[in-house]
Structure 1
Amino acid sequence: MKTGMFALALGLLALRWLPALPSTGWLVMLLVVALMLLPFRTYPLAFLLFGLSWACLSAQSALDDRLDPALDGQTRWVEGRVTGLPQRTGEGVRFELTDSRSRKARLPKRIRVSWRGGPEVRSGERWRLAVSLKRPSGLLNFHGFDQEAWLLAQRIGATASVKDGERLAPARNAWRDSVRQRLMAVDAQGREAGLAALVLGDGSGLAAEDWQVLQATGTVHLLVISGQHIGLLAGLVYGLIAGLARYGCWPRTWPWLPWACGLAFGAALGYGLLAGFGVPVQRACVMVGLVLVWRLRFRHLGVWWPLLLALNGVLILEPLASLQPGFWLSFAAVAVLILAFAGRLGPWSVWQAWTRPQWLIAIGLFPVLLVLGLPISLSAPLANLVAVPWISLVVLPLALLGTALLPLPWLGESLLWLAGGALAGLFEGLAWLAGLQPAWVPAEVPLGYWWLSLLGTVLLLLPNGVPLRLLGLPMLLLAVFPPQERVPHGQVEVVQLDVGQGQSLILRTRHHTLLYDAGPRTGTFDLGARVVLPSLRKFGVDRLDMMLLSHADADHAGGAAAIARGMPIQRVVGGEVEGLPAFLGTQPCVSGEQWQWDGVSFELWQWPGADNGNAKSCVLQVQANGERLLLTGDIDRAAEQAFLASPLAVPTDWLQAPHHGSRSSSSKAFLQRLAPGSVLISRGRGNAFGHPHPQVLQRYQALGSQVYDSAEQGAVRLQLGAFAAPVVARSQRRFWREGLP
């Protein structure tokens, strides 16, 4: 039976790596073959096919529920009900709409809605909204978060921004939202949002600084409801009833064991429903239920059987869960603890049981975090050593008990005040620790070295005395200090990042790195911190020789401050110094300035007659082995005309489209002189400016230029000086990307 369950899990997990989903005919054939195999005792293969078929059918259903491409970008009146917990942001409110209806159009079952400057929205309310609809999409970089996969895993078939709206009906059955409102209204010493995260799994109220502290110390799991919280509550209820029975305080006519198991599972399930029943909660509830059933029947459970059943249970309920990083981290953490505690020849002391799991978890999750591209906290073992028992034994019991006793205002609010104070003290300690040791973003590791690090991790987790166990340490270090592939002399690696309606390009020679523009920032949404800085780290860059900001517009220079805080920069050059932060120490762009790095030539140009920000853009020409790249910022037609008189106005292999392909740029004379073989366009999909303009695209097509558009192809990576075809992020096929252009 275990073999069959393992095969079923493999079939369900295989969905994560499929480049495309099989057709309906192939799926029917797989199911028929699986049924035919069952009588011949080849049930593992049959279970594998069943798992794969079910996962593919579920994924196809989610893909079919996406917004019709014909409706992409249209504005329509939509009616629907608000579900989940609406999230209040600094700029408005974000929520999910279900049961959506619109005249003469079929809409997806779930729509993720953003309302800039919107009013208070409550769960359960029914609204009529004028929204601009978009198909699910997101930024796509080589090492970044896959927003498209996340949206599909949430079964969100469209995103929308609100133009206008009216409330049609008040909230109904919105008990989770009501609890959150009560929690946010109490005095918890400034940590009301943290208590809402602990009790309800709603972290939307936490500030960005709080999330940075949690990430830097590896304690995010403590403020996002996980299996630890569910298991702790179930254990407390079971232990309470067992203790009452042992000391004769439990009614003799009620058998204590069935009651303990039933109430413990009821507490776990109730807490899970309160928390929104996410993947970690599902896994925990399944495992708690299995343990209690086996305990009720006085049978030995074993160590891996519950985890395998929980894995299958979660994936059968939601096969798309494997697209989320939290799924892998949740099950990997439990597997690490099972591997670490199983097979020991004697019990650990209290000190060992307290300290060793933290180090083992840090080692065990290292390759998982590495392959998922997530930051790694070096201070996590120390932080969790204090934070885990503090949250589990102090903050969480006080928060849950205080929430339950809110109908008794003085008592419930007093307990929540104490819980908030305990949480505030913990955050102060974690912030101090995060200041000493920020999270580490490791460089990209070759696949072979990652497999060796995984094998080394497994060896290190084995009990003492296992032969060759210590060989795991050097194998693990291969991923910590992997050999970096250097750019050949005379060439430059150019990466146009996908930063939406903005621009940022990384240029690396053999020993130097230049960043041209730093990505956009809008309010608190800083893509310099979210995309550009992590991408630099992933490419192995720990310092910049130059950050060149074409001009001061927020879509080009908005992320500069985050970059400057994140790594040393030897020199900052800008085309519009007066509009950039003073602490950057920006030097003006000087036309004619030239330099060479590792056999690659660089030269700057700026129009001296410019009188506005776009026209002042600092232009950079790069030459490597005779192959040219021209980065133009947002220059307009007048600046282009002036550029034609400069010595840089020569045929160019690669051109960054001026002003994102705007109609006010890319003039016919400019393009005919440069005759670019390929064009890079950085812009946001469905942007409000209409970039790139159809007339501009027609000019490029007339010249025979190959256009690489970040909105359609994601990030672009090319080797200037090698005269080779570039690599685009979307070339790595995944089934959830098929529906996009």
Structure 2
Amino acid sequence: MRTATLALAMGMVCLRGLPALPSLGWLMAMAAGAALLLAVRRWHCGLFLLGLCWACLHAHWATNEQLAPALDGQTLWLEGEVVGLPAANGSTVRFELADAWSRRAQLPSHLRLAWYGGPPVASGERWRLAVKLKRPRALVNPGGFDAQAWALAKGVGATGSVKAGERVRAARLAWRDGLRQRLLAVDSQQQGGTLAALLLGDGSGVSRQQWEVLQATGTVHLLVISGQHVGLLAGMLYGLVALLARIGCWPARWPWLPCACALAFAGALAYGLLAGFQVPVRRACIMIGLVLLWRLRFRHLGVWWPLLLAFTLVLLVDPLVSLQPGFWLSFIAVAVLLLTFSGRLGGWRWWQAWTRAQCCVALGLLPVMVALALPVSVSGPLVNLLAVPWISLVVLPMAMAGAVLLPVPWVGETLLWLAGGALSGLFQWLTWTAEWGPPWLPPGLSPHVWLVLVMGILLLLLPAGVPLRWLGVLMLGLLLFSPRQAPPAGQADVWVLDVGQGLGVLVRTAHHQLLYDTGPGLGEIDAGASVVVPSLVALGVRRLDAMIISHAHLDHSGGAGTVLRRLAVSQTLAGEPGSLPAAWHAQPCKPGRSWEWDGVKFVLWRWPSAVPGNPASCVLWVEANGERLLLSGDLDAAAEKALLASGLPVQANWLQAPHHGSKTSSSKPFLEAVGPHTALISRGHGNTFGHPHAAVLARYRALGITPHDTAEEGALRVRLGAHQPVDRQRAQRRFWREAPAGL
């Protein structure tokens, strides 16, 4: 029975690795094959195939719910109800709309919208809105977060920006939004936003600095409602009934065990209702229900059976949940704890059990964090030793009691004020701890190295008497001494990252790394944190020998601050150093400056008479084994003319399209003088500037220049000096995103 259940679960999990979904005809044939296998009692094969069919069918339903390609970029009037908790960040309001419909087109039922400069929006309200709609789309980079998979798993059919709107109906049943406003009004050292995250799962009130502190200390799970919070409440209620029964205060006519299980499950459901029954909460409620059922009637089946059953049931309810990192982290954490505490000879003291639990969970989740390219906190195991009981035993009980007692004058507000003060003290300590070092981003590992890492960690998690357990330490060392991904001497790896409407290029030689531009940045959001640093770390880059900021515009310099904070940068060069923060210590880009790294030559140029802005871009040539790349920043036609007049040899095989393919650049004389065979275009999908311009693309085609576009093809990789075609990240097929043209 266990192996059959595992086969069913593995069939559903396989959905995650499919490059494309089988057609409905193939699904019918697979379902018939599964039925035939089950009829002849080939249970495992039949259930595996059945699970795969069920998962693929769910994926078809989800992809069919997405916005039709013909409506991508169109503005439509639509109507729907605001669900969840809207988030206001400055003048921008972000919210989700359910049951969306329009008279002009068939729309997805679930939308995620942003209203720049819009009015307050409350949960439960019904709005009529003019929205520019977009299909869910994500940047595709090495080691980057796949927002498109996340949107599919969440059931988001389209995103959009609101242009105008009117409220059709006032809010109804918006008690969660009202409670959120009460929590945000708690001014206990500005911790109302963290209280809302803790109780309601609404992280919009948590600042970027607080999230960075939580990430650096490995305590994000404390403010993201998960199985830990729901399980804590259920455990407290179960323990209360058990304690009353032990001391003789529980009514004898009521069997204590069924009552304890029923009360614990009711408490978990109530907390789930308070938190909006998001996917992690639903998953936790299913797991808690199965554990309580096991405790009540099925303890003879062992401890692994409820975990496997919960794993399978969660997948049956929503197979697309396997696309979410939280699904894997929660189940593997529970599995590690079961492996650590079950089947041991003898017991541990409470403090030994607590410390070993934290260390074992951190160790057991390491392969998952590496596979999912998630940051790892080095201080996390030690910090959680104090942070978890502080949240679980001090902050959360007071916050829950305060939320329940809010109708009682002064009592609820006082408890919430005390909970906010306790959170403030915790954040002060976490901030001090985070200053010791940022989170560690593990490098990308090849599959066989990753499997060796998993085997090593399994050895370390086994009891101390297991022979050759020490080999796990050597296997774990692969994380620190993993093979470098650098090119050989005389060649250079060039990555044009998919940063959206901006530019970020990594040039890597055998022993040196250079970053040309850092992607866009706006307010608290920048590509340095979301794209550039994670991609560089995934490629094994821990330091930069040079960072060049072509000019000061935010689409090129927006991520530089994050790069400087998180990576060691030896020197910073810039086309407009005076327009950048003094703390960056940017040096001017001097025309004609050249150097050589590992057999690869570099030459700089900047127009001395340039006016501020695009014409002042710092230009870089890279030459390896007779093959040349020209990184041109945002040069306009006037600067291109000045470059041709400089007398420098401008010929190049590869050209980074000036100014994202704008019509004010890529002049015909410039293209003829450079003579590239390929133009690399970095731009945002559906950008409002119209990049790349149709006239520029026509000019490329007329001159025999092949364009490659990050918006359509993801990050682009060129092995300079190897005379090979470009590699495209979107060529790595996934069923939830479109493949680039030609595949």
TM-score tier (shorter): over 0.9
Tell me the equivalent position of 2:59: 59
Check conservation: 1:603, 1:622, Cα contact below 8 A: yes
Kindly state the Cα deviation for residue 301 of structure 1 after the two structures are TM-superposed: 4.5
Tell me the equivalent position of 1:425: 425
Check conservation: 2:486, 2:508, Cα contact below 8 A: no
Which secondary structure state, in structure 2, belongs to the residue aligned with residue 628 of structure 1?
strand
Tell me the equivalent position of 1:266: 266
Kindly state the Cα deviation for residue 491 of structure 1 after the two structures are TM-superposed: 1.1
Kindly state the Cα deviation for residue 186 of structure 1 after the two structures are TM-superposed: 2.7
Letter in 1 for 2:15: L
Distance 1:184 1:720 in 2: 54
Deviation digits for residues 506-544 of structure 1, max 9, x if unmatched? Answer: 111112211111111111111122221222222222222
Check conservation: 1:187, 1:413, Cα contact below 8 A: no
Tell me the equivalent position of 2:718: 718
Tell me the equivalent position of 1:277: 277
Tell me the equivalent position of 2:441: 441
Kindly state the Cα deviation for residue 91 of structure 1 after the two structures are TM-superposed: 4.3
Distance 1:46 1:630 in 2: 56
Tell me the equivalent position of 2:621: 621
Distance 2:648 2:24 in 1: 56
Which secondary structure state, in structure 2, belongs to the residue aligned with residue 737 of structure 1?
coil
Distance 2:656 2:680 in 1: 5
Tell me the equivalent position of 2:204: 204
Tell me the equivalent position of 1:464: 464
Kindly state the Cα deviation for residue 739 of structure 1 after the two structures are TM-superposed: 7.5
Which secondary structure state, in structure 1, belongs to the residue aligned with residue 433 of structure 2?
helix
Which secondary structure state, in structure 2, belongs to the residue aligned with residue 573 of structure 1?
strand
* Pairs within 5 Å for 1:594-633: 594-633=594-633
* Pairs within 5 Å for 1:427-506: 427-506=427-506
Letter in 2 for 1:333: A
Percent of pairs with identical residues:
60
TM-score, normalising length from structure 2? 0.97
Q: Does 1:511 align with 2:511?
A: yes
Tell me the equivalent position of 1:287: 287
Which secondary structure state, in structure 2, belongs to the residue aligned with residue 330 of structure 1?
helix
Letter in 1 for 2:666: S
Compare 275-284 and 59-68 and name the one that shifted more.
Answer: 275-284
Check conservation: 1:93, 1:114, Cα contact below 8 A: yes
Distance 2:457 2:221 in 1: 21
Distance 2:486 2:713 in 1: 25
Which secondary structure state, in structure 1, belongs to the residue aligned with residue 410 of structure 2?
helix
Distance 2:170 2:291 in 1: 42
Tell me the equivalent position of 2:311: 311
Which secondary structure state, in structure 2, belongs to the residue aligned with residue 736 of structure 1?
coil
Over 3 Å counting, the alpha-carbon distance change for 1:740 and 1:726 in structure 2 is closer
Distance 2:532 2:659 in 1: 20
Distance 1:723 1:577 in 2: 35
Check conservation: 1:549, 1:575, Cα contact below 8 A: yes
Kindly state the Cα deviation for residue 382 of structure 1 after the two structures are TM-superposed: 0.5
Kindly state the Cα deviation for residue 446 of structure 1 after the two structures are TM-superposed: 2.4
Compare 493-502 and 37-46 and name the one that shifted more.
Answer: 37-46
Tell me the equivalent position of 1:237: 237
Compare 572-581 and 55-64 and name the one that shifted more.
Answer: 572-581
Which secondary structure state, in structure 2, belongs to the residue aligned with residue 398 of structure 1?
helix
TM-score, normalising length from structure 1? 0.98
Tell me the equivalent position of 2:357: 357
Kindly state the Cα deviation for residue 287 of structure 1 after the two structures are TM-superposed: 2.1
Compare 576-585 and 152-161 and name the one that shifted more.
Answer: 576-585
Deviation digits for residues 41-99 of structure 1, max 9, x if unmatched? Answer: 21221211111111001001111111111111111111111111111223411111111
Tell me the equivalent position of 2:664: 664
* Pairs within 5 Å for 1:6-17: 6-17=6-17
Deviation digits for residues 419-468 of structure 1, max 9, x if unmatched? Answer: 11111111111111111132111222222211100000111111121122
Q: Does 1:218 align with 2:218?
A: yes
Letter in 2 for 1:517: D
Letter in 1 for 2:377: S
Deviation digits for residues 339-374 of structure 1, max 9, x if unmatched? Answer: 111110112111111111011011111111011101
Letter in 2 for 1:191: Q
Check conservation: 2:592, 2:604, Cα contact below 8 A: yes
Q: Does 1:565 align with 2:561?
A: no
Kindly state the Cα deviation for residue 253 of structure 1 after the two structures are TM-superposed: 3.4
* Pairs within 5 Å for 1:636-715: 636-715=636-715
Tell me the equivalent position of 1:591: 591
Which secondary structure state, in structure 2, belongs to the residue aligned with residue 204 of structure 1?
helix
Q: Does 1:33 align with 2:19?
A: no
Kindly state the Cα deviation for residue 646 of structure 1 after the two structures are TM-superposed: 3.0
Tell me the equivalent position of 2:137: 137
Deviation digits for residues 198-226 of structure 1, max 9, x if unmatched? Answer: 11111121011111111111111111111
Tell me the equivalent position of 1:368: 368
Tell me the equivalent position of 2:380: 380
Check conservation: 2:610, 2:616, Cα contact below 8 A: yes
Kindly state the Cα deviation for residue 578 of structure 1 after the two structures are TM-superposed: 2.2
Check conservation: 1:577, 1:588, Cα contact below 8 A: yes
Distance 2:22 2:558 in 1: 43
Compare 309-318 and 83-92 and name the one that shifted more.
Answer: 83-92
Letter in 2 for 1:64: N
Tell me the equivalent position of 2:113: 113
Check conservation: 1:643, 1:649, Cα contact below 8 A: no
Over 3 Å counting, the alpha-carbon distance change for 1:334 and 1:93 in structure 2 is same
Check conservation: 2:71, 2:133, Cα contact below 8 A: yes
Which secondary structure state, in structure 1, belongs to the residue aligned with residue 300 of structure 2?
coil
Distance 1:525 1:671 in 2: 35
Unaligned runs of 5+ in 2: none
Check conservation: 1:30, 1:49, Cα contact below 8 A: yes
* Pairs within 5 Å for 1:156-235: 156-235=156-235
Compare 381-390 and 272-281 and name the one that shifted more.
Answer: 272-281
Which secondary structure state, in structure 1, belongs to the residue aligned with residue 352 of structure 2?
helix
Distance 1:279 1:150 in 2: 12
Distance 1:614 1:11 in 2: 53
Tell me the equivalent position of 1:2: 2
Which secondary structure state, in structure 2, belongs to the residue aligned with residue 167 of structure 1?
strand
Kindly state the Cα deviation for residue 696 of structure 1 after the two structures are TM-superposed: 0.6
Compare 721-730 and 240-249 and name the one that shifted more.
Answer: 240-249
Tell me the equivalent position of 1:530: 530
Letter in 1 for 2:678: S
Letter in 2 for 1:414: T
Compare 60-69 and 277-286 and name the one that shifted more.
Answer: 277-286
Letter in 2 for 1:196: A
Check conservation: 1:529, 1:562, Cα contact below 8 A: yes
Distance 1:406 1:481 in 2: 55
Tell me the equivalent position of 2:737: 737
Over 3 Å counting, the alpha-carbon distance change for 1:740 and 1:120 in structure 2 is farther
Distance 1:21 1:260 in 2: 45
Distance 2:486 2:318 in 1: 42
Kindly state the Cα deviation for residue 300 of structure 1 after the two structures are TM-superposed: 2.9
Distance 1:400 1:211 in 2: 22
Q: Does 1:546 align with 2:543?
A: no
Distance 1:300 1:107 in 2: 51
Check conservation: 1:343, 1:463, Cα contact below 8 A: no
Which secondary structure state, in structure 2, belongs to the residue aligned with residue 409 of structure 1?
coil
Distance 2:298 2:663 in 1: 76
Which secondary structure state, in structure 1, belongs to the residue aligned with residue 205 of structure 2?
coil
Deviation digits for residues 702-740 of structure 1, max 9, x if unmatched? Answer: 222221111001111111011012211101100001378
Over 3 Å counting, the alpha-carbon distance change for 1:119 and 1:301 in structure 2 is farther
Kindly state the Cα deviation for residue 298 of structure 1 after the two structures are TM-superposed: 6.4
Which secondary structure state, in structure 2, belongs to the residue aligned with residue 643 of structure 1?
helix
Distance 1:565 1:479 in 2: 23
Distance 1:128 1:18 in 2: 38
Kindly state the Cα deviation for residue 650 of structure 1 after the two structures are TM-superposed: 4.0
Tell me the equivalent position of 1:402: 402
Distance 1:493 1:384 in 2: 40
Compare 185-194 and 366-375 and name the one that shifted more.
Answer: 185-194
Check conservation: 2:186, 2:420, Cα contact below 8 A: no
